[in-house]
Amino acid sequence: MRYQLSPWIPSKRLALQWAAAVLAPLSFAGVAHAQSLGAIEQRLRQVEQKVALLETGGSARGAASTASDQSVSIDALMQLDRRLAALERALSGLISAQEQDHRALVTGMAQVQTMKGDTEARLDAVERQAAVPAPPPASIPQPVATAAQPLSADDRFGQAMLYAERQDWPRAELAFDSFVAAWPADPRASEARFQLGRAFQGQGKHAQAAQLFLELYEKAPNAPFIVDDLFALGQALTDMGPANSTQACDVYAEIETIHGAALTLEQRSQLLDRRLALKCPG
């Protein structure tokens, strides 16, 4: 016995209700799925057109439709069913992608809120710390100013000799000059004047040095450093220029005549070299 299926054609209203039920979750899909939804809507319009054609054909033929027409209707329904199944799968994929995007968005927003809360907590801590006034700095005891004690003769002379050994001639000049002025009767006053002449010579003050060495020789001819004083006088005269070469030679002749027997080998060699350089007679 052969059974024939009566053609069942869904109404346009029912088909639209199915499409509305399937498309309802897509309201949250967002801009990222706009193109996919457009394609689906186009396919729905095509389905609606075919459903309309089926309805029109069914009403025209009515009960007199042949078996061939019923077969065509069944094939159309099966094709429609397959298309609706494909449409459901596409919608399911879109909904799944939307849910993943939504979960990612929720996770990102939660992280942002956590970072915001942490940043606000840190700012609050910094503001509270800044609001606490800093403790006043501990008072630093200031040294009590005491009147400078004047140097003794020994200290001043030792300081001046230290400057001379370092060849710090400006400070040596000041130190020896102040010593001679403060302690003129000190036994070391003559030596201080000799060192003062060396300080003049070291600064290129040759005339002042020569004058001081000459005065010292006239006032203290028997001083233990008098030979050094005469050598310094001859060198100062030489440094003053060729016009004073004759006077320098006279000084070296004085050394040879008066102090020749007491000269060391180094002093004799130095004396000979200087006289030869100036071409002194004798």
Look over the chain and give the mean of its residue pLDDT values, rounded to a whole number: 77
Amino acid at 22: V
Topology of domain 153-278 in CATH is: 1.25.40
Q: How confident is the model at residue 112 (pLDDT cuts 50, 70, 90)?
A: low
Distances (CA, A) of 280 to 74, 241, 268: 149, 15, 15
Whether the per-residue pLDDT at 149 is higher than 80: the answer is: no
Q: What six digits make up the tokens of 176?
A: 């020896």
Q: How confident is the model at residue 9 (pLDDT cuts 50, 70, 90)?
A: very low
Whether the per-residue pLDDT at 52 is higher than 60: the answer is: yes
Is 123 or 77 the better-scoring residue by pLDDT?
77
pLDDT recorded at residue 22:
43
Q: How confident is the model at residue 193 (pLDDT cuts 50, 70, 90)?
A: very high
Tens of pLDDT, residue by residue over 197-233, are 999 999 999 999 999 999 999 999 999 999 999 999 9
* Residue 226 to residue 220: CA distance in whole angstroms: 8
Is 143 or 104 the better-scoring residue by pLDDT?
104
Average pLDDT estimate for 86-110: 73
Whether the per-residue pLDDT at 178 is higher than 70: the answer is: yes
Q: Which of 167, 164, 165, 166 is nearest to 177 (CA)?
A: 164
pLDDT recorded at residue 139:
55
Distances (CA, A) of 77 to 4, 48, 49, 81: 15, 12, 13, 6
pLDDT recorded at residue 72:
57
Q: Which of 39, 165, 30, 163 is nearest to 90 (CA)?
A: 39
Q: What six digits make up the tokens of 171?
A: 């400070």
Tens of pLDDT, residue by residue over 68-85, are 556 657 877 788 778 877
pTM, two decimals, is: 0.48
